Structure 1
Amino acid sequence: MTTVTTRSVEYPADGLTMVGHLALPSGIDRRPAVLIGPEGIGLDDVDRRRAEALAGLGYVALAFDIHGGRQLTDPEEMLARCMPLLADHDRMRAIGHAALDVLRAEPRTDPDQIAGIGYGTGGGILLELGRDGADLRAIGTVNALMTGRPGEAARIRCPVWAGVGSEDPIQPAAQREAFAAEMQAAGVDWRLVTYGGALHAFHHPGATSDKTLLPGVGYHPRHAQRAWNDIVNLLAESVPLGETIETGGAGTVSR
């Protein structure tokens, strides 16, 4: 594991001042990068730790914001903001592109080697980036089987990996089938992993019985670790971390 430095990054999107969490590995060379999208509650310490874990592996990582620096822990408030957002493909794309631009502008980022991973609403935003033709090397999502506008999945230019709990009532079998049909019809290189017995937000340690949560939400530690391992493997396949190479006066680039 490499030494990691972090900082907050403010940028405008969706009429708000977003506050992302940027994590950088040690060194001065350019590295493959990962854009991380949060669940509907918004950017929290779980997302920050994910960014730092990926930086520890050697990636530049940006966990992006969707609520202007806020966490919406009240389910009604969260749904009141997220449901209209999820219904507005262009708005999701604008939020995603704003964050992607920040990550791409970071001097440590290799702009040709960027992947995206996202959870719930953040995963939906990353899928919309893909449907908008964004230059990503991979998209990995958990609890984000949102379908897009007809035909637009054909613009996805990278592999898509998706994970979902078998007992997720928010994304039941019919939703899984619709997502798979969309990806297949578009000719996308896609994978869908169903984690047996897991509920919605099974990846998130905060989804425990002592919190006021939506029905059908619950943490599953074993599957959470498995899903994380699957995402790390996706990144290793799509944006591999290699040895740095000299690029003359421009410094070094990781390949």
Structure 2
Amino acid sequence: MGITTREVRYTADGLTMVGHLALPAGVDRRPAVLVGPEGTGLSDVERRRADALAGLGYVALAFDLHGGRYLADPDEMLARCLPLLADPDRMRDIGHAALAVLRAEPRSDPDRIAAIGYGTGGAIGLELGRDGVDLRAIGTVNAVTTGRPGEAARIRCPVWAGVGSDDPIMPPAQREAFTAEMQAAGVDWRLVVYGGALHAFHHPAVDHATLPGVGHHPRHAQRAWRDVVDLLTECVPVAG
């Protein structure tokens, strides 16, 4: 018997969110993973990643950002995401709502939950950590965002971050600010810089307009996925 999937609806940020829940074979409790999408919103890319995690034995919830919508227009996406990224409390509310859905799933082990995410979804995972949520790991791609002063000290788990060397949205100064914040807070952190990669390098090419500095890098996309899986294997193994 393979994995099973279903839509889950819940309320966050004043919207009815439509997440994608993927369950591994079996009936026992398993470690669980929140999967946060890019700023454009939940797409088949994140759904497939949740499915892949379920295939590895995790309960996985790819959560929604925009009330069931995918914001293909860059201007519309920025109009929603820039205020969101500037408001840690809103990000945390979206993350907590998704986390509540994941914890309520009977197959989830509520004591073994990790958060991974891409872009805005990764920033939400970091904010859950800064809010003191008991996570086993946080992994982000394209999200080396900093938080409010001192709050990174609440992060209780290892943090892994991946970013493209040529990402103009997360440039070297931003990477340095992020690593300085993690270091000052005593977080167990790692940063991988993928040479020659742009922003959203993990995301397959799309057929609509994108922001400058965005581009797919197939080789690094595979490497970043392996790095994320390695993080989960280390910090929240399926067995044990």
SS of 2:122's equivalent? Answer: helix
CA distance in 2, matches of 1:27, 1:172: 44
- Of the candidates 214, 217, 220, which is equivalent to residue 223 of structure 1? 220
Alignment of 1:150-161 (within 5 A): 150-161=149-160
- Answer yes or no: is 1:178 the counterpart of 2:189: no
> For residues 19-38 of structure 1, what are the structure 2 equivalents within 5 Å?
19-38=18-37
Offset from partner CA, 1:114-166 (integer Å, 9 cap, x none): 00000000000000000000010000000001100000000000000000000
Task: Determine the structure 1 residue equivalent to 2:51.
Answer: 52
| 1-structure distance, mates of 2:71, 2:173 | 28
1:235 counterpart residue number? 232
SS state at 1:163 partner: strand
> For residues 184-225 of structure 1, what are the alpha-carbon distances to aligned partners after superposition, in whole Å with 9 as ceiling and x for unaligned?
000000000000000000000035xx5311000000000000
Shift of residue 71 of structure 1?
A: 0.1
CA contact (8 A) 2:72 2:208 kept: no
Q: Secondary structure at the match of 2:18?
A: strand
- Counterpart residue number, 2:71: 72
Give unmatched runs, 5+ long, in structure 2: none
Equivalence for 1:123:
122
Q: 1: CA distance between counterparts of 2:222 and 2:105?
A: 29
For 1:166, the equivalent position in structure 2 comes to 165
Q: Measure the CA separation in 2 of the matches of 1:32 and 1:146.
A: 26
Q: Which residue of 2 aligns with 1:83?
A: 82
Post-superposition Cα deviations, 1:21-52, rounded to whole Å, max 9, x if no partner, equal: 00001111000010000000000000000000
Tell me the TM-score normalized by structure 1.
0.93
Q: Which whole-Å deviations, capped at 9, do the CAs of 1:5-28 have from their partners, x for residues lacking one?
A: 000000000000000000001111
Q: Which runs of 5+ in 1 are unaligned?
A: 243-254
In structure 2, the residue matched to 1:63 is 62
Could you tell me which residue of structure 2 aligns to residue 250 of structure 1? none
CA separation in 2, counterparts of 1:20 and 1:50?
Answer: 13
Question: Counterparts of 2:103 and 2:52 in 1: how far apart (Å)?
Answer: 19
Cα distance in 1 between the residues matched to 2:124 and 2:104: 19
Count of aligned residue pairs for this structure pair: 240
2:148 alignment counterpart: 149
User: Alpha-carbon deviation of 1:229?
Assistant: 0.1
What is the identity percentage for the equivalent residue pairs of Structure 1 and Structure 2?
80
Q: How far apart are the structure 2 equivalents of 1:156 and 1:86?
A: 19
Distance across 2 between alignment mates of 1:216 and 1:148: 24
Q: Of the two, which has the highest radius of gyration? A: 1
Alignment of structure 1 residues 3-18 onto 2, 5 Å: 3-18=2-17
Q: Hey, what's the Cα distance between the residues in 2 that align with 1:4 and 1:26?
A: 5
Match of 1:245 in 2: none
Per-residue deviation, 1:177: 0.2
> Counterpart amino acid of 2:122?
G
**Corresponding residue number in structure 2 for 1:213:** 210
Superposition pairs of residues 83-122 of structure 1, within 5 angstroms: 83-122=82-121
- Following the alignment from structure 1 to structure 2, what is the Cα–Cα distance between the partners of residues 64 and 241? 21
Normalising to structure 2: TM-score of the pair? 0.99
